[in-house]
């Protein structure tokens, strides 16, 4: 007779040895079998994975899990596994604002300083409308705090993010001029909700959203130490192929930091059609796309982005943080939706969601779009046509591309990358397979290129002759940002310019063009400035499009 503990241990070993989806029994319906087949390579007992849920006509018709939620304890993912949903959180803050607007407690045209008066008074006011549509010009906290010295495995609190916003002294752009994603804006919206309602955001969302919709496993984590049962850990691949756990000490309320399951988020998607919570009017407002100062309409609404898939409209949002990859998409005309939550960035959550939609919606979708690619019949161009395109173009701060004619074609080499081939679709448009995109040149009357367009952005051509390089010793010294309370020291080491920071250590700088130097994260571009006498007075850091023009003054 076996000891009961021995029998239990044997059963556990057997269960863990069987790669499986959530359900113990083999699924009977063909749709579930197809979805299981789609994700079969994640149904393992030694790797992270994902959970999936599907909604149709007000019902959850599929909920499955694949892979492990916890590698150390070998706990499988189920539809009840709790994930950090990252930026999928934004639609909850967006709808909260829409509800307060409907109730007359907030106005979209209000200056955010009406609710948070300690924010700086900038040259142009930032409105609630700017915040919900990512048109505020506020710098994004991930890149900005990184420049200040934070690492992503640090504790990053809601108060620290608000403090950063209070000290911002300039904007990325004039409010309303551009659409540029800013997590910081959604953190400020959350603070507006808290001040207007007089309740912590966690409590307000629980009372207004989660309890009425029976989203029992969903919570905004406002304390990074709180215990959340059945929570998955995030995992990333190391260079040697092994898995590494990713630290997650973030409380970025409103922009992120919501914990939920695919089952709970499926109930949320059902509410898009039923309007049981918030009401039809607020839900409609939360789908109102933003309009820029020049009259252009953008796809982004109140934490949701409008799109199209195979000819039918979609509304959705993705998320990515601490190795979690998430996506929620709603198909309004089909009264359907797909939720994908993964605990590893090896899962492309949006692609997975649309692959599931292909299976579930099938004929309700239009034909699949033809993928962009090289022209069917590449043009053969002469040197006289190609040579005027050769040169260096500025794609962005610290980011340049050199175009060169080689034989009967062109090649491109971007900063820190190898040289790649370009295939001519016309005398001005070239497909670059390595970038999965085209580059289109703009020529002057003489035929010489003055700029190129790449992924919707126009990049100017730099002068044919670069200014002579200044001595590296010109840049040595100590630089301080009053806005970030951060110091970097520049000095020459082994004939190269480097910056030193007390947390980031040594950051080598590479001259890109004139006095614009490229660098590793968190400093993509360090552009030095001089006064009228030619003396270096400071530098400007551009992390990315979301965190621009961070000024450091030379203090010694």
CA 189 to chain CA centroid, nearest Å: 18
What is the C-alpha separation between 526 and 551, in angstroms, rounded?
Answer: 10
pLDDT(25) > 90:
no
State residue 369's pLDDT score. Answer: 79
pLDDT band of residue 27 (cuts 50, 70, 90) is: low
pLDDT(301) > 90:
yes
What is the C-alpha separation between 97 and 186, in angstroms, rounded?
Answer: 10
pLDDT(120) > 50:
yes
| Per-residue pLDDT tens digits for 389-435 | 999 999 999 999 999 999 999 999 999 899 999 999 999 999 999 99
What one-character DSSP code corresponds to residue 19?
Answer: -
pLDDT(20) > 50:
no
State residue 375's pLDDT score. Answer: 85
CATH code, 383-460: 2.40.128.50
pLDDT band of residue 4 (cuts 50, 70, 90) is: very low
pLDDT(17) > 70:
no
Strands (E), 290-408: 305-309, 312-321, 324-331, 336-342, 391-396, 399-406
**Domain boundaries along the sequence of the chain:** 383-460, 472-554
Q: How far is CA 365 from CA 135, 272, 339, 362, in A?
A: 32, 20, 18, 6
519: tokens are 């660098």
DSSP per-residue codes, 437-465: EEEEEEE-TTS-EEEEEETTEEEEBPPSS
Three-state secondary structure call for residue 322: coil
| Per-residue pLDDT tens digits for 238-261 | 999 999 999 999 999 999 999 999
Q: How far apart are the first and last CA of the chain?
A: 81
Three-state secondary structure call for residue 325: strand
What is the C-alpha separation between 127 and 18, in angstroms, rounded?
Answer: 54
- Same fold: 383-460 with 472-554: yes
**Cβ contact 317:308 at 8 Å:** no
**Cβ contact 263:210 at 8 Å:** no
The continuous run of DSSP H or E covering 189 comes out as helix 183-197
What is the C-alpha separation between 422 and 437, in angstroms, rounded?
Answer: 10
DSSP per-residue codes, 100-113: HHHTTS--TTSBGG
pLDDT(135) > 90:
yes
Is the sign of the CA dihedral 535, 537, 542, 543 positive or negative?
positive
Mean pLDDT of 342-364: 97
pLDDT band of residue 436 (cuts 50, 70, 90) is: very high
On the CB side of 220, CA atoms within 13 Å amount to 29
Q: What are phi and psi of 281, to 5 degrees?
A: -65, -45
What is the C-alpha separation between 337 and 328, in angstroms, rounded?
Answer: 7
As a whole number, the mean pLDDT across the chain is 94
pLDDT(19) > 70:
no
State residue 5's pLDDT score. Answer: 42
| Per-residue pLDDT tens digits for 310-347 | 999 999 999 999 999 999 999 999 999 999 999 999 99
State residue 504's pLDDT score. Answer: 95
pLDDT above 70: percentage of residues in the chain? 95
- Name the region of 100 (left: φ>0; alpha: ψ -120 to 50; beta: rest): alpha
- Name the region of 335 (left: φ>0; alpha: ψ -120 to 50; beta: rest): left
The reply to whether omega before 522 is within 30° of 0 (cis) is yes
**Cβ contact 235:288 at 8 Å:** no
Strand-pairing partners, residue 507, are 499
| Per-residue pLDDT tens digits for 147-174 | 999 999 999 999 999 999 999 999 999 9
Closest C-alpha among 71, 57, 68 to residue 21: 68
DSSP per-residue codes, 113-166: GGT-TTS---SSPPBHHHHHTT-S-PPPHHHHHHHHT--TTS-B-HHHHHHHHH
What is the C-alpha separation between 449 and 443, in angstroms, rounded?
Answer: 4
DSSP per-residue codes, 246-307: EP--B--BTTB-EEE-HHHHHHHHHHHHH--SS-HHHHHHTTPPPB-TTSPBPSB-SS-EEE
The continuous run of DSSP H or E covering 204 comes out as helix 201-205
On the CB side of 148, CA atoms within 13 Å amount to 23
Strand-pairing partners, residue 403, are 391, 412
State residue 368's pLDDT score. Answer: 85
Fold of 472-554: Lipocalin (2.40.128)
Cut 0.85: pTM above it: yes
């Amino acid at each position: 007779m076996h000891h009961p503990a021995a029998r239990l241990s044997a059963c556990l070993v057997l269960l863990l040895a069987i790669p499986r989806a959530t359900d113990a029994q083999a699924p009977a319906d063909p749709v579930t079998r197809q979805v299981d087949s789609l994700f079969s390579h994640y149904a393992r007992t030694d790797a992270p994975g994902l959970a999936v849920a599907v909604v149709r006509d007000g019902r959850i018709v599929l909920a499955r899990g694949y892979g492990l939620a916890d590698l150390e304890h070998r706990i499988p993912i189920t539809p009840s596994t709790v994930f950090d949903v990252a930026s999928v959180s934004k639609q909850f803050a967006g709808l909260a604002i829409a509800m307060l607007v409907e109730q007359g407690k907030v106005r979209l045209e209000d200056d955010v300083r009406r609710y948070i008066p300690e924010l700086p008074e900038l040259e142009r006011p930032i409105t609630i409308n700017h915040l919900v549509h990512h048109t505020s010009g506020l710098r994004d906290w991930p890149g900005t705090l990184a420049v200040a010295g934070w690492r992503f495995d640090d504790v990053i609190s809601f108060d620290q993010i608000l403090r950063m916003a209070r000290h911002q002294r300039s904007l990325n752009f004039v409010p309303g001029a551009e659409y540029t994603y800013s997590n910081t804006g959604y953190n400020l919206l959350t603070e507006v909700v808290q001040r207007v309602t007089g309740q912590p955001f966690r409590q307000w969302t629980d009372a207004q959203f989660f309890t009425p919709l029976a989203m029992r496993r969903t919570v905004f984590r406002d304390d990074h130490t709180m215990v959340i049962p059945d929570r998955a850990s995030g995992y990333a691949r190391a260079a040697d192929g092994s898995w590494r756990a990713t630290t997650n000490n973030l409380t970025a309320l409103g922009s992120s930091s919501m914990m939920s399951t695919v089952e709970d988020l499926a109930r949320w998607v059902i509410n898009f059609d039923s309007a049981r919570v918030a009401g039809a009017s607020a839900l409609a407002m939360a789908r109102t796309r933003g309009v820029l100062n020049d009259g252009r309409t953008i796809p982004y609404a109140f934490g949701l982005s409008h799109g199209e898939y195979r000819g039918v409209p979609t509304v959705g949002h993705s998320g990515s943080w601490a190795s979690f990859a998430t996506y929620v998409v709603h198909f309004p005309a089909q009264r359907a939706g797909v939720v994908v939550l993964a605990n590893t960035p090896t899962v492309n959550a949006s692609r997975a969601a649309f692959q599931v939609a292909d299976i579930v919606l099938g004929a309700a979708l239009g034909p699949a779009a033809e993928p962009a690619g090289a022209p069917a019949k590449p043009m053969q161009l002469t040197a006289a046509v190609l040579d005027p395109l050769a040169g260096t173009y500025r794609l962005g701060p610290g980011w340049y591309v050199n175009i060169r004619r080689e034989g009967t074609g062109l090649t491109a080499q971007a900063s820190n990358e190898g040289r790649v081939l370009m295939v001519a679709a016309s005398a001005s448009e070239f497909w670059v397979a390595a970038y999965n995109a085209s580059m289109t040149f703009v020529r002057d009357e003489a035929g010489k290129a003055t700029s190129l367009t790449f992924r919707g952005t126009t990049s100017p051509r730099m002068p044919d002759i670069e200014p002579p390089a200044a001595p590296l010793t010109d840049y040595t010294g100590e630089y301080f940002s009053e806005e970030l309370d951060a110091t970097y020291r520049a000095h020459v080491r082994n004939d190269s310019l480097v910056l030193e920071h007390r947390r980031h250590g040594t950051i080598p700088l590479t001259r890109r063009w004139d006095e614009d130097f490229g660098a590793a994260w968190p400093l993509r571009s360090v552009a030095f400035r001089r006064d009228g006498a030619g003396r270096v007075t400071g530098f400007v850091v551009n992390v990315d499009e979301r965190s621009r023009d961070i000024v450091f003054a030379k203090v010694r």
